[in-house]
Chains A and B, each alone.
Chain A
Amino acid sequence: MITIQKQGYGGIVLPAYGIGLDTDQAIVPHVFISHAHADHVPRNRHIPVYATPATAALMKARGFQGEVTETPFYSPVSLPGDVTVTLYPAGHILGSAMTYIQTPEGSVLYTGDYRNPASPCTEGFDCPAKVDYFITEATFSLPIYRWKSHEKLFDRLRTTAIQARERGEVPVFLTYNLGKAQEVMMALAPTGIPVQIHGAGYPLCEIYTRFGMDLGAYTRYNRKSVTEGALITPMSTLDTSMVTSIRKKYLTYCSGWAALESRRAQLNVDQLIPLSDHIDFFELLALCRRLAPRKIYLTHTPNPDVLLHYLRNDGLDAESLDLQGNDDA
C-alpha cells in the first residue's frame, strides 16, 4: 500500500518516493506540476519542478522563477528507488499532464485537472492502460453535469459571435485568461472575426500559437478598436470600464458552472454556455470503471459523496482524499 497524503491546499505527496504533485513547498525532492493554473503552481515561485515544455513556458510567463526540468509527454524520468515517472496528455489546457508513477509497489496515476474528450485546444487526452492507484480530480462530480460535445459548443460560440456582429453588438466572452480563453479563440477562428484579449491573457496566446494551436486573428485589448470585433476577458472585468464602456454588447459567460440556472441570477449576462475544461461525472465514472484500479482517491471536489456512492456500488474501493486530510502524516 502506497502512502498518499494531501499536502497544503491542493498538493499531494508520496513521501516514500520523495515525489510531490502540484505541491506548494520543497519538502520533497521531486515536484511535478500538472498544469499552469494558479491553484496548481507552487506559491513558492523558486522551487525546482518538473513540467511539460508548454506548462514550463506558461508558468514562466505568469511569473514562476524556479528551475523547471522540461519533461515531454511519454518521456520517462527515472528516479531513485526503481521509480519511473511519465507524463500523459490530460486534455485540460495546453501542456496539461497526468503524472504516471510506476513503483515497485504498483502504479499511481495523478490526473491533475483533466478532460476527456480532450479540449481541442490541447495536445489531447491519453491514459495508461493499467493503473493501481488512481488519484482523480472530481470538480463536477454530480450527475447533473454532462457536457455537450465540443462540436456543438464551438458551433454555439461561433453563432453567438456572428449574430452579435450582425446586430451591431460586440460579442464579449467572459472566461479565464488561460485555457478557456484560447479555446474560445480557436472556436471563433473560422469566423474571421478579429478577437481582442485581456492584457494578462495576451502573452499566453503567443505561447499557444508557438506550440501549434490556431487561435485565428487576435490582438491585445484596445479601447478604441474593441468595437470592431469580439472581446475575451475574465469575469472579474465585467464591472470595469473595459466592459462597461462598450455601449452595444452581448455578454456570454463560459464555464462548467454555467450549467446551473442559479448562475443566471448571480451574473448579469445575456447568455451562459456550459463550456468546461474538466471531466464530467459520466466520463469520470466510465474511466474509473475501465481502469478498475485497486484504489481510487477523489480530490478537488465540492461533493465526493455521490461519486463514492456510485463507485462503491460498482465494487470499487474509493475514498475522498480531502476528507482523509493529513491524519496519517
Chain B
Amino acid sequence: MPETAPLFLDFAELAQRLAETRSTRSKIALCAGYLSGLQSDADLDRAVRFLGEGAFSRLSGKRAAVGHRTIAVSAARHLDIDYEQVFRPSRIATGSASEAIEKLLENLESGRRKRREGAPLSLESVDQRFRLLSGARSREDKEALLQENFCELSPLEVKYFLRILGGGSLRIGFELRSILNAIARAFGASPEQVRYTHMITGSLGKTAVMARNGSLDEASFTLFQPVDFMLATALTDPFGQVEGGTAPAALTDFTGFVAEEKFDGMRCQVHVQCEQVALFSRDLNDVTSSFPEVVQFMSGLNLPATVLDGELCVYLDQTIQPFQSLQKRMGVKKPGKSLLQQHPVLFIAFDLLHHDGHSFFGRSLNQRRGLLEALCKENGIARVDQFTIRDVFHLKDSFTQALANGNEGLILKRTDGLYEFGQRGKSWLKVKQPGGSLDTVILYATAGSGKRGGTYSDFTLGIRVSDDPRYEQDFVPIGKAYGGYTDEELKRLNTAIKPLIRERFGPTLSLEPAIVVEIEFDEIQRNKRTKAGYTLRLPRFRAIRWDKLPGQTDTLAEVERLYREKIGRKRQPGAAFSANSDN
C-alpha cells in the first residue's frame, strides 16, 4: 500500500521537532507518539534504526562508505558553487556540513531550481537508497546517487539523510537511552526490559518490534554478538589521610567487596563454542584476527557456548608487559611470527556472562565467580585472583603491590552486584594512580549540549613547543578535558575565555593561549596521528592556574620524558592471576 506508507519527511520533521524540544520527557513523549503510529514492523525497524544506529543496523556490519569529502564536493557541484570559496566558509560558519548543505539547498536559486517536486519518499525507499549508496563502488557513482537525492528530497530531509548515512549522532539531543525509553513508552513495555532486550539483541529494530508484539520475554542471548561491557567508576581520593590527604578516604567499609588487580591491557569479550571463537573489544569491534594465539587456545578447549569477560595482556617471562607492548599488536590484523614471539598475548578472564545455554547477567558476582572459577580450573583458563580488603591501610598496601606487579591498580567489586552492561555503575570501583600531572594551556573551548548546554565545558589543552625546533607554533594539542572543575570554576572560565576568542567553528572557539590548567591524566600514549605524537588518556582539571603564564607551562619534552620513564619501569613477575588447571 504505497499511498499509506510512512514518509521520510515525517521522520525528518520528527527529528527536527526533537531537536527543538528542550525537555527530555517531552522528547520521549513526542517520539513515542510517532513510533506507535507506524503500522508495519519493517517501518518501525527503519525508524528506530535511523534514529539511533544510522543507515544500517549495527549487527549488519555494513557501512555507507561515503566520505565527508565526497558529500561536500557533490553538494557544491549540485549547487554550482565553488567548493573552496563558498562551500567551505559556509560549513565552517555552521560547524556542520549537513546543516550547511540544508541551508544552501534551501537558499540558493540553483538548489531550488533543481528540486523535483514529486511525491515525498517513503521510509522504505530512503532505506533502499542507503543500500544503493553502500553498493556503489566508484566515487562517480556515489556522487550521482547523492545528487539524485539532493533533487528529490527537501533540504530538511537531506540534512537528516546525510546524518543517518554518516551513522553518527543525528545531533538532536536524543541518544540511545532516550530512544529506548521512547520504545518502552510507545508500546507500554517496561524500560528495564527494553534496555535488557536491546543489550542482548544488539538491535534497536529487533527491540522495538519485540516491544510492540509483546515478545520481549522471548529475547535471548545470541552467541557471537557482543554485549556492552560493564564499566567501573574511578574512586577519587581512595586512601584519604593514609597518603597525607586532608579528605577522608572515599571508602572505609570494605565488607561486601572483593578486590582484583587491574591489568594494564585491553578489555576483551570472548565468545566461544567448540572450535568457533570471536573476540570483541570495548567498542564492540571484532578483533578476533589480531590475536590468533588466544583463538587457538580457546578453540582447543571444546567448550559449549560460552562468553567470558576479561583482559588481553602481553605476557612474557612470567611478567605482564606494559600496555605499550600490547599496542604493537593492536590493529594488526594478521600478526607475523616474530610479532607473536616478541609480544605474546594472554587472555585473563574475570567474569562469565553465558555458559551452556544460560545467561548470567542477572546473577550476583559471587555466583558468577563460582561458575567462572569452576570453568577456568577445569580448562586451565587464566583468571584474575580475588581477595578481600580489611581496611584502607590494607587497600593501600594491596595497591602498592599491584603497581609492583606491573599492574595499573585495583578494582573493587560488590559481591552482590549484577552485570550492569553498558553502564558505569557503583558496584565496580577503580583504584588507580594518576599517570601524572602537567601544566597546559587552553587552546579550544567547545560548548556542551544537554545538561551543560549553553556553557563551554570541553577544553582542548595544549603542550608547549615554543622552543622546540620541530615545531613552528607555540602550542600543540595534547588532550581534551571534560571535567574536574567545579561549577564556580567553569563559570569563571566561561567569562575568562570571551576576550580570548580568535575564531568560531560552529560550537567550538579557537582561543588565544592564555589560561593555564594543571591537568591530571591516567596515562600517556604514543599516537602518531596527532601533532604532538602523544595523547593523554582521560585528562581532567586538577587546578586552574590563574597565577601562571602560558610561557611557564610544561613542554612536549617533559611528556616524552614521562613516557620513557613509564615504559622503563621495573616490573616484578606478577602473581595476580592463576592459570593452573585441575587436569
Cβ 8 A contact of A142, one of B89, B171, B447, B506: B89
- Residue A143 interfacial (CB < 8 Å): yes
Cα–Cα distance between A144 and B92 once the two chains are bound (Å) = 11
Within 8 A of A (CB), among B99-138: 99-100, 103-104, 106-108
B-side contacts of A144, CB under 8 Å: 90, 93-94, 100, 103-104, 107
Using CB atoms, name the residue of chain A closest to B446.
A265
Residues of A within 8 A of B99 (CB): 260-261
CB of B40 within 8 A of chain A? no
What distance in Å separates the Cβ of A224 from its nearest Cβ neighbour in chain B? Answer: 27
Q: How far, in whole Å, are A145 and B507 apart by their CA atoms in the complex?
A: 18
Residues of B within 8 A of A264 (CB): 19-20, 453
Contact yes or no, A262 B507, CB < 8 A: yes
**Complex-state Cα separation, A46 to B52, whole angstroms:** 61
Task: Answer yes or no: B86 CB below 8 A from chain A CBs.
Answer: yes
Q: Does B22 contact A (CB under 8 A)?
A: yes
Q: Are A265 and B507 in contact (CB under 8 A)?
A: yes
Select from chain B the residue with minimum beta-carbon distance to A271: B20
CB of B449 closer than 8 Å to a CB of A: yes
In the complex the two chains form, is B100's CB within 8 Å of A267's CB?
A: no
Tell whether A143 pairs with B108 under 8 Å between CB atoms, given A264-B19, A306-B85, A306-B90.
yes
Tell yes or no: B61 within 8 A of A by CB: no
CB-defined interface of A122-155 with B at 8 Å, one 1/0 digit per residue? 0000000000000000000011111000000000
B86 to chain A, nearest CB (A): 6
Q: Do the beta carbons of A303 and B104 come within 8 Å of each other?
A: no
Q: Interface 1/0s, chain B 56-97, versus A by CB < 8 A? A: 000000000000000000000000011001100110011110
A282 within 8 A of B: yes
B448 on interface, CB distance cutoff 8 Å: yes
Query: Which B residues from 222 to 261 make CB contacts under 8 A with A?
Result: none
Q: Contact residue range for chain B?
A: 20 to 34
A206 at interface (Cβ–Cβ under 8 A)? Answer: no
Give Cα A260–Cα B99 distance, bound, in whole angstroms: 8
B104–A260 touching, CB < 8 Å: no
B447 touches A265 (CB 8 A): yes
For window 284-309 of A, CB contacts with B under 8 Å fall at: 302-303, 305-306, 309
Using an 8 Å CB-CB cutoff, how does the interface string of B353-385 with A read, 1 for contact, 0 for none?
Answer: 000000000000000000000000000000000
Tell yes or no: B37 within 8 A of A by CB: no
Contact B90 A142, beta carbon cutoff 8 Å: yes
- Cα distance A261–B20 in the bound complex, in angstroms: 10
Q: Are B107 and A262 in contact (CB under 8 A)?
A: no
Verify if B499 is at the interface (C-beta below 8 Å from A): no
B454 interfacial contact with A, CB 8 Å: yes
* Nearest A residue to B505, CB-CB: A262
CB of A260 within 8 A of CB of B94, answer yes
**Which residues 251-279 of A have a CB within 8 angstroms of B?**
259-262, 264-271
Q: Is the CB of A143 within 8 A of B90?
A: yes
**Complex alpha-carbon distance, A270 and B85, angstroms:** 34
User: Once the chains bind, are A282 and B507 in contact (CB under 8 Å)?
Assistant: no
A80-122 toward B: CB 8 Å interface, digit per residue (1/0)? 0000000000000000000000000000000000000000000
Per-residue 0/1 for B145-172: is the Cβ within 8 Å of any A Cβ (1 yes, 0 no)? 0000000000000000000000000010
State whether A262 touches B85 (Cβ < 8 A).
Answer: no
* A306-B22 contact, Cβ under 8 Å, with A144-B104, A266-B454: no
Interface size class for chain A? 20 to 34
Q: Are A146 and B453 in contact (CB under 8 A)?
A: no
Please name the residue on chain B nearest to A310 by beta carbon: B86
> Is B86's CB under 8 angstroms from A268's CB?
no
Produce 1/0 per residue, A170-195, CB < 8 A to B. 00000000000000000000000000
Contact A262 B100 (CB under 8 A): no
B:441-455 near A, CB below 8 Å: 447-449, 453-454
Beta-carbon nearest neighbor of B449 in chain A: A265
Q: Within 8 Å CB of B19, what residues of A?
A: 261, 264
A-contact bits for B497-528, CB 8 A (1 contact / 0 none):
00000000011000000000000000000000
Write out the residue numbers on chain B whose beta carbons fall within 8 Å of the beta carbon of A309: 82, 85-86
Minimum Cβ distance to chain B for residue A289 (Å): 13
Q: Which residues of the other chain, A, contact B453 by a CB distance below 8 angstroms? A: 264-268
Task: List residues of chain B with CB within 8 A of the CB of A260.
Answer: 93-95, 99, 506
Q: Which of A2-41 contact B (CB under 8 A)?
A: none
Do B447 and A266 touch (CB < 8 A)? Answer: yes
Known: A261-B99, A303-B93. A143 touches B86 (CB 8 A): yes
Partner of A270, one of B22, B94, B171, B506: B22
CB B541 to nearest CB in A, in angstroms, measures: 21
Q: Which residues of A contact B85 (CB under 8 A)?
A: 305-306, 309
Tell me, rounded to whole Å, the shortest Cβ–Cβ distance linking A141 to chain B: 9
Complex CA–CA separation, A266 to B94 (angstroms):
13
A146, closest chain B residue (CB): B107
Please name all residues of chain B whose beta carbon is closer than 8 Å to the beta carbon of A261 when the two chains form the complex. Answer: 19, 94-96, 99, 171
From B89, B103, B104, give the contact of A305 (CB < 8 A): B89
Instruction: Return chain A residues, CB-CB under 8 Å to B100.
Output: 144
CB of B103 within 8 A of CB of A266, answer no
- Look across to chain A and name the residue whose beta carbon is closest to the beta carbon of B109: A282
Q: How far is the CA of A145 from the CA of B107 in the complex (A)?
A: 8
A316 and B378 CA atoms in complex are apart in Å by 85
Closest Cβ–Cβ distance, residue A132 to chain B (whole Å): 27
Cβ-closest chain A residue relative to B456: A266
Bound Cα distance from A303 to B92, whole angstroms: 11
Residues of A within 8 A of B93 (CB): 142, 144, 260, 302-303
Cβ contact within 8 Å between B507 and A146: no
Interface membership of chain B positions 1-26, coded 1 if the CB is closer than 8 angstroms to chain A and 0 otherwise: 00000000000000000011010000
Centre residue among A144, A146, A259, A309 by max chain B CB count within 10 A:
A144
Nearest Cβ on chain B to A284's Cβ, whole angstroms: 13
A269–B108 Cα gap in the complex (Å)? Answer: 29
B104, closest chain A residue (CB) = A143
Q: How far is the CA of A274 from the CA of B96 in the complex (A)?
A: 18
Q: In chain A, what residue has the closest Cβ to B95?
A: A262
Give the Cβ gap from B84 to chain A, nearest Cβ, in Å. Answer: 9
Question: What string of 1s and 0s marks CB contacts (under 8 Å) between B414-455 and chain A?
Answer: 000000000000000000000000000000000111000110
B residues contacting A by CB (< 8 A) are 19-20, 22, 81-82, 85-86, 89-90, 93-96, 99-100, 103-104, 106-108, 171, 447-449, 453-454, 506-507
Please name 29 pairs of A and B residues whose Cβ atoms are closer than 8 Å in the assembled complex, sorted by A.
A142-B90, A142-B93, A143-B86, A143-B103, A143-B108, A144-B90, A144-B94, A144-B100, A144-B104, A145-B107, A146-B103, A146-B106, A238-B454, A260-B99, A261-B19, A261-B94, A261-B99, A262-B95, A262-B96, A262-B506, A264-B19, A266-B453, A268-B453, A268-B454, A269-B22, A270-B22, A305-B85, A306-B89, A306-B90
Residues of A within 8 A of B (CB): 142-146, 238, 259-262, 264-271, 281-282, 302-303, 305-306, 309
Other than the given A142-B89, A261-B99, A306-B85, 4 more pairs (CB < 8 A) read A260-B95, A261-B19, A261-B96, A303-B89
Which 7 pairs from chain A and chain B are nearest by CB?
A: A268-B454, A144-B103, A146-B107, A262-B506, A262-B507, A268-B453, A266-B447
